[in-house]
């Protein structure tokens, strides 16, 4: 079957068009992940859903993404890369009216599942498609554009939420306004937040329709004329002929090997080594802790000594640095190379994490565990705990632990507690000069808060859930693990930590943030590329989910310094992998990269 796209026109123009489609795909992926944050407060205020139901609404995207990531490679092999790109766009566009017109929890979850399925398909198929379509000298730029627009999608989601929040806020400031009007405005706000996000989905759907199918996929299906036509659009006639000949030679070599050895084992070096390298790269990318840094940046800054307002400003600065340095990475990735950016990026992350860890170690080492001295605050009959830092009856306890003269900025307390398998951490600070009550209150979690979300429930039924059953916490007594009391650091310390994490985000965005997608798509040999990418992305998501699950309990029990030192150790492994094991793929065709892992000398080496 012939391609339904023209083969004439400027390759330069078509490659720019592919960059545009990559950008739209990244934008859609970012919106997929980020749009719920702005909508959730208004959904919670107007729906009457329980915390467990709301967590299911949030987690439905993760479940959809999990499954579609797993099967995206297989589907792309069966039906083609372009077909799955179009499918992802259709699913996203279809999800919006299902979500916005929903009047019940089931329809809402169904719409969010579709969004997750769309995001999982995009995360695998777009980098796969770009790797197989773009020339060796522009492949890095294309994948970098995907990552850049992903970050823009996250920022766009935040601004969409901020716009509708300001509209609701203006209504709430009107004296004597009817509460029903406020309720209606909030209900309309969360629905409109989703409606607005349909625009990039439609743009991606229309744009993807006019791209050619992947030439590598067409060639594997025996459609060599169509493959040549697709290559001509991106590489010109002369370049297309050269690449097609390389594909024919690689195919002939593989055919010869199959004839002499009918069972082409997937355990060969040429398959195992690039697959393992891709797995390590993706796992270590998440093990830098980047998602937790972005999620808890304000909390981290506050614990380091910044006020809530300045902490939020620091968080905004992080998002700006993320976007700017991604632009820098896109400009450099095809000039300086992947391993150069990975080595520079991971080295910067290591320095940043060690700086933050050392700073927090200094803060946390001066905290005193006063758990035994505040046992009276524990009410076992009601399974609750209440601690007021300004309680005169406890003044001697606090002063004996940390004299007021040594805490000019005030004091803070970190309580780590558990109900059976349920663990959590709470913080409170009493700033000098502030008369605001500084109280920690701990009460038993509600059953709805303990129930598995849709992901946990599914895996528990398969006996695959690695985490404890939180419903077992129901009725369990409260156990206070520790009550760490110490001085609030000064703003100078806070800005030191903020500076470390600005370096962290700048290093991540300019290295792993862009190069991880290239590693995912470039390293895999053609035979295992699509399915290998699916598995590698699953590992990526698994590491991210695990870190998110253990972050708060770990920092509560052992401090931020422990978490940051652990991340730094993982990043050292990342640096070693990039410096000594990852081949430089800049300027090499996919066939030349395959030859490298077969032990052959690359023609471009």
pLDDT of residue 465: 59
Q: Which of 386-395, 498-507, 537-546, 580-589 has the lowest mean pLDDT?
A: 537-546
Maximum pairwise Cα distance, the chain: 86
DSSP result, 459-511: HHHTT---S--GGGGTTPPEEEEEEEEEEPPPHHHHHHHHHHHHHHHHHHHHT
Q: Tell me the C-alpha distance between 407 and 167, whole Å.
A: 42
Q: pLDDT band at 602, cuts 50/70/90? A: very low
CA distance 190 to 176: 24
85 has pLDDT over 90: yes
The gap between the terminal CA atoms of the chain, to the nearest Å, is 37
Specify the pLDDT at position 254.
66
Residue 88 has pLDDT above 60, yes or no: yes
Kindly tell me if the per-residue pLDDT of 313 is higher than 60.
Answer: yes
Most confident of 1-5, 276-280, 496-500: 496-500
> Given pLDDT bands bounded at 50, 70 and 90, which one contains residue 8?
very low
Return the closest-CA partner of residue 419 out of 485, 482, 483, 481.
481
Q: Please state which of the ranges 49-53, 77-81, 122-126, 154-158 shows the lowest mean pLDDT.
A: 49-53
Residue 216 pLDDT exceeds 60: yes
Judged against a pLDDT cut of 70, whether residue 309 lies above it is answered with no
8 A C-beta contact, residue 474 and residue 450: yes
Highest mean pLDDT among 79-93, 98-112, 224-238: 79-93
| pLDDT value of residue 6 | 40
Q: In CATH terms, are 1-264 and 278-364+493-605 the same topology?
A: yes
What is the predicted pLDDT for the residue at 459?
Answer: 62
% of the chain exceeding 70 in pLDDT:
85
What Rg, from alpha-carbon coordinates, does the chain have? 27
Instruction: Note the pLDDT of residue 7.
Output: 41
| Average pLDDT of the segment spanning 524-534 | 72
Instruction: Break the chain into its structural domains and give their ranges.
Output: 1-264, 278-364+493-605, 368-401+410-488
Confidence check: pLDDT of 2 > 50? no
**Mean pLDDT over all residues of the chain?**
81
pLDDT, residue 600, reads: 57
**What percentage of the chain reaches a pLDDT higher than 90?**
17
Q: Which residues of 211-240 are buried (b: 16+ CB within 10 A; e: fewer)?
A: bbbbbbbbbeeebeebbbbbbbbbbbeeeb
Across 23-27, 109-113, 309-313, 363-367, least confident range: 309-313
The pLDDT of residue 500 is: 95
CATH 1.20.1250.20 fits 278-364+493-605, yes or no: yes
Sequential DSSP letters for 377-405: GEETTTTEEEEETT-GGGHHHHHHHS-GG
Res. 426: pLDDT tops 50: yes
Reading the block at residue 1, the tokens are: 């079957």
CATH of domain 1-264: 1.20.1250.20
Lowest mean pLDDT among 45-59, 138-152, 169-183, 256-270: 256-270
- At 13 the pLDDT is 84
Q: How confident is the model at residue 1 (pLDDT cuts 50, 70, 90)?
A: very low
Average pLDDT over residues 597-603: 57
User: Of 181 and 519, which is predicted with more confidence?
Assistant: 181
pLDDT of residue 367 exceeding 60: yes
Burial of 530 (0-12, 13-18, 19+ CB in 10 A): buried
pLDDT score recorded for residue 484: 87
Question: Of 6-10, 70-74, 298-302, 363-367, where does mean pLDDT reach its minimum?
Answer: 6-10
User: Which of 170-184, 425-439, 445-459, 529-543 is the least confident region?
Assistant: 445-459
| pLDDT of residue 32 exceeding 60 | yes
pLDDT-derived band at 50 (thresholds 50, 70, 90) equals low
User: Above 50 in pLDDT, residue 3?
Assistant: no
């Amino acid at each position: 079957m012939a391609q339904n796209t023209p083969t004439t026109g400027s390759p330069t123009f078509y490659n720019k068009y592919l960059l545009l489609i990559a950008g739209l795909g990244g934008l859609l992926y970012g919106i997929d992940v980020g749009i719920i944050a702005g909508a959730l407060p208004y959904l919670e205020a107007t729906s009457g859903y329980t915390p467990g139901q709301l967590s299911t609404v949030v987690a439905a995207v993760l479940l959809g993404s999990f499954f579609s990531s797993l099967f995206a490679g297989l589907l792309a092999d069966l039906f083609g890369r372009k077909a799955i790109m179009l499918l992802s766009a259709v699913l996203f566009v279809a999800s919006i009216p299902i979500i916005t017109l929903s009047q019940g929890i089931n329809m809402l979850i169904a719409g969010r599942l579709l969004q997750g399925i769309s995001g999982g398909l995009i995360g695998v198929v777009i980098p796969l498609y770009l790797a197989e379509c773009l020339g060796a000298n522009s492949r890095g730029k294309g994948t970098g554009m995907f990552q850049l627009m992903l970050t823009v999608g996250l920022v766009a989601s935040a601004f969409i939420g901020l716009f509708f929040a300001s509209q609701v806020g203006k209504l709430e400031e009107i004296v004597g306004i009817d509460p029903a009007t406020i309720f209606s405005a909030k209900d309309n706000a969360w629905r409109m937040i989703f409606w607005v996000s349909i625009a990039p989905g439609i743009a991606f759907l229309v744009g993807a329709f006019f791209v050619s199918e992947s030439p590598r996929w067409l060639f594997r299906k025996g459609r060599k004329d169509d493959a040549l036509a697709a290559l001509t659009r991106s590489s010109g006639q002369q370049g297309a002929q050269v690449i097609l000949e390389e594909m024919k030679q690689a195919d002939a070599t593989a055919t010869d090997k199959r004839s002499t050895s009918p069972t082409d084992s997937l355990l060969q070096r040429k398959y195992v080594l690039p697959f393992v390298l891709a797995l390590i790269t993706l796992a270590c990318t998440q093990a830098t802790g980047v998602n937790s840094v972005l999620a808890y940046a304000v909390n981290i800054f506050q614990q380091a000594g910044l006020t809530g307002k300045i902490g939020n400003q620091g968080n905004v600065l992080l998002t700006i640095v993320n976007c700017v340095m991604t632009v820098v990475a896109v400009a450099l990735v095809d000039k300086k190379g992947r391993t150069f950016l990975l080595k520079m990026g991971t080295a910067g992350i290591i320095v940043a994490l060690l700086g933050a860890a050392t700073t927090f170690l200094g803060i946390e080492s001066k905290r005193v565990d006063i758990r035994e001295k505040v046992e009276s605050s524990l009410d076992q009959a009601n399974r609750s705990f209440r601690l007021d830092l300004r309680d005169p009856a406890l003044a001697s306890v606090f002063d004996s632990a940390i004299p007021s003269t040594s805490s000019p900025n005030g004091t803070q307390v970190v309580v780590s507690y558990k109900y059976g398998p349920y663990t959590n951490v709470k913080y409170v600070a009493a700033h000098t000069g502030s008369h605001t009550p500084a109280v920690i209150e701990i009460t038993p979690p509600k059953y709805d808060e303990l129930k598995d979300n849709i992901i946990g429930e599914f895996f528990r039924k398969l006996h695959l859930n690695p985490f404890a059953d939180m419903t077992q916490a129901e009725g369990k007594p409260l156990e206070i693990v520790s009550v760490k009391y110490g001085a609030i650091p000064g703003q100078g310390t806070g800005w030191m930590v903020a500076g470390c994490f600005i370096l962290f985000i700048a290093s991540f965005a300019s290295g792993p943030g862009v190069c991880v997608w290239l590693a995912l798509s470039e390293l895999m040999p053609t035979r295992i590329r699509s399915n290998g990418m699916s598995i590698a992305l699953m590992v990526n998501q698994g590491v991210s989910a695990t870190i998110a699950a253990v972050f708060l309990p770990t920092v509560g029990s052992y401090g931020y310094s422990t978490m940051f030192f652990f991340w730094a150790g993982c990043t050292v492994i990342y640096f070693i992998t990039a410096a000594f094991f990852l081949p430089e793929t800049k300027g090499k065709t996919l066939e030349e990269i395959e030859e490298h892992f077969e032990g052959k000398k690359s023609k471009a080496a």
